[in-house]
Amino acid sequence: MHFTAKIRGNNITVAAPSVDDRSILFQGKPAFKRSILKIRLRLRNTIFGTNPVMGVISLIFHILLFVTPIFLPAHNILADQSLGVNLFTLSEPLMDKFTVLLIAMGGFFFLRRIFIPRVRILTTMRDYGILLLVMAPFLTAYAAYHQLFYYRTVLFIHMIVGEIAIMAVPFTRLGHMPFFIFSRFFIRGEYNWKPGNRRWQR
Amino acid sequence: MNSINIDKSTEGKIRRIIDKKKGMIKLSLSACVHCSICSDSCFKFIASKNDPTFTPSYKVIHSIGKIYKKKGRLSDEEYEKIRKLVWNKCVLCLRCYCPVGISVPSLIATARNICREKGIYRTYDDSGKGE
């Protein structure tokens, strides 16, 4: 559709924008490219579009936080011995790599709190404490697996710190672990699993 | 200079507002994980070229957070700071997005309510420019 206007004696034709701008992008593209484009357009307005490094690291961090302890062979052997139930496990060298990755990502969050002004302005000593509490079981687990320091001492510290971390969940900011699922449905304009819009530009 | 200048009836009114919203304020302040993801959703934050004091969670913690912790017994200077924070740095556009689910606008609206009870509100000079 075109509009024609007369400006200073010249006829200027302007193409009117389509109702759905995205349909122009999809024209003449194969189906799989179209679906990829759709996903990209949807992700653009989420944290993966506004802050991709933080988004990806945060997502992997939270997934590994669950995957690493639950599918660890040693934990499953203990569960089998005491309760008689176990889950399938992933290999130990892979878990070791996951642990290193988790510690590195914990370091990223720590540095982010120090160097990014908008995070630093909000950070209190409690935030550092909670980050340390979450990372401590993984640090001690790495030390125990590689038999650094005294094995038994490190293992007992690992167990105690892990228990404290789990116990702290309902009383600290770690409460977002169980309640995040519910709170998603209380966010205004969202009330579902879909990512919300949080960008003003463009 | 830093004295608390608040009479009994005003204090009672502020207490009533805080008690009414106690659950929401307490839960929100304890649930905030200080991730600063909300800052991307604030157009004032973007317009101010990423000034960290425009982060929605900062506005909440330093306005209603302070009022809640001291039960409204703040000095005039502190109330003045809160006034600048809740009126000049937020327009209550309801666009701020918290991944944990905290309702930032309702908290800032509560802080505004309390400020109004204290006799503090947005003022305009003769040119109509808000300060």
Those residues whose C-beta lies under 8 Å from the C-beta of residue A129, and which sit 6 or more positions away, are none
Q: Is residue A201 part of a domain?
A: no
User: pLDDT value at position A201?
Assistant: 43
Residue B52 belongs to domain spanning: 8-117
Q: pLDDT class for A163, splitting at 50, 70, 90?
A: very high
In whole angstroms, give the CA distance from residue B55 to residue A46: 17
State the total domains in chain B: 1
Q: Is residue B1 part of a domain?
A: no
Residues A18 and A85 in one domain: no
A2-7 and A10-15 strand pairing: antiparallel
Residues A64 and A159 in one domain: yes
**At CA B42, angle to CA A62 and CA A40, rounded to 5?**
55
Q: Is residue A131 part of a domain?
A: yes
Task: Please check whether residue A118 is in contact with residue B39, taking contact to mean a CB–CB distance below 8 angstroms.
Answer: yes
Task: Please check whether residue B101 is in contact with residue A183, taking contact to mean a CB–CB distance below 8 angstroms.
Answer: yes
User: pLDDT value at position A202?
Assistant: 38
Taking an 8 Å cut-off on Cβ atoms, the answer to whether A121 and B52 are in contact is yes
Q: pLDDT class for A63, splitting at 50, 70, 90?
A: very high
Taking only the tens place, the pLDDT of each residue in B25-71 is 888 888 888 888 888 888 888 888 888 999 999 999 999 998 898 88
In whole angstroms, give the CA distance from residue A30 to residue A186: 38
Q: Chain B residues with CB inside 8 Å of A128's CB?
A: none
Tell me which H or E stretch contains A199.
none
State the total domains in chain A: 2
Q: Is residue B130 part of a domain?
A: no
Taking an 8 Å cut-off on Cβ atoms, the answer to whether B36 and A116 are in contact is yes
Q: Is residue B126 part of a domain?
A: no
User: pLDDT value at position A45?
Assistant: 66
User: pLDDT value at position A200?
Assistant: 46
Q: What is the ipTM of this complex?
A: 0.82
Taking an 8 Å cut-off on Cβ atoms, the answer to whether B46 and A200 are in contact is yes
Taking only the tens place, the pLDDT of each residue in B59-104 is 999 999 988 988 878 888 888 889 888 888 888 887 787 877 788 8
Residue A6 belongs to domain spanning: 2-41
Whether the CB of B91 is below 8 Å from some CB of chain A: the reply is no
Taking an 8 Å cut-off on Cβ atoms, the answer to whether B33 and A120 are in contact is no
Calculate the CA A89 to chain-centre distance.
23
Q: Chain A residues with CB inside 8 Å of B43's CB?
A: 200
Q: Is residue B125 part of a domain?
A: no
Q: Chain A residues with CB inside 8 Å of B98's CB?
A: 187
Distance from CA of B103 to the nearest CA of A (A): 7
Q: Is the pLDDT reported for residue A85 higher than 90?
A: no
What does each C-alpha distance from A32 to A28, A44, A49, A164, A198 come to in angstroms?
12, 18, 21, 48, 27
Q: Is the pLDDT reported for residue A128 higher than 80?
A: yes
Q: Average the pLDDT over each of A113-122, A153-162, A178-187 and give the range with the smallest value.
A: A178-187
Residues A61 and A159 in one domain: yes
Whether the CB of B52 is below 8 Å from some CB of chain A: the reply is yes
User: pLDDT value at position A197?
Assistant: 53
Residues A66 and A165 in one domain: yes
Taking an 8 Å cut-off on Cβ atoms, the answer to whether A118 and B98 are in contact is no
- Chain B residue with CA closest to A112: the answer is B35
